[in-house]
Amino acid sequence: AQSVAQPEDQVNVAEGNPLTVKCTYSVSGNPYLFWYVQYPNRGLQFLLKYITGDNLVKGSYGFEAEFNKSQTSFHLKKPSALVSDSALYFCAVRDPASHRGGYQKVTFGTGTKLQVIP
């Protein structure tokens, strides 16, 4: 069974400092990996995804994520945090090997609250 873990409930970082939000996964095949962001009173918004190719994926709002197959990780990063980056971040994984009637289930992590301190 596939799973995804976000080991930190909350991450605090000073404005202007680099940030990292951690994600590890477990799948039987090669994973499709996603990051979504949720601002207060809003739905989740897509940030970036890894399907194949370059291990470093660039996404919206200056975010990037690095796929590390040996460590089964897909950490979200940004070189310089902004106060407006404060939000809830979700990692998600899809296992192409989990075919079921054409739907390959997407499993979401429990979310990490990012707090950027001015």
Partner 1 sequence: DADVTQTPRNRITKTGKRIMLECSQTKGHDRMYWYRQDPGLGLQLIYYSFDVKDINKGEISDGYSVSRQAQAKFSLSLESAIPNQTALYFCATSDLTTDTQYFGPGTRLTVL
- Return residues touching partner 1 (CB under 8 A): 9, 32, 34, 36, 41-46, 49, 51, 90, 94, 101-103, 105-106, 108-111
Q: Which of 81, 89 has the CB closer to partner 1?
A: 89
Residue 106 neighbours by CB under 8 Å, 6+ apart:
34, 92, 93, 94
Q: Which of 42, 58 has the CB closer to partner 1?
A: 42
Q: How far is CA 43 from the centre of its chain?
A: 16
Q: Which of 15, 64 has the CB closer to partner 1?
A: 64
* H runs (alpha helix) in the chain: none
Shortest Å, Cβ 51 to partner 1: 7
Q: How many CA atoms lie within 13 A of 102 on its CB side?
A: 0
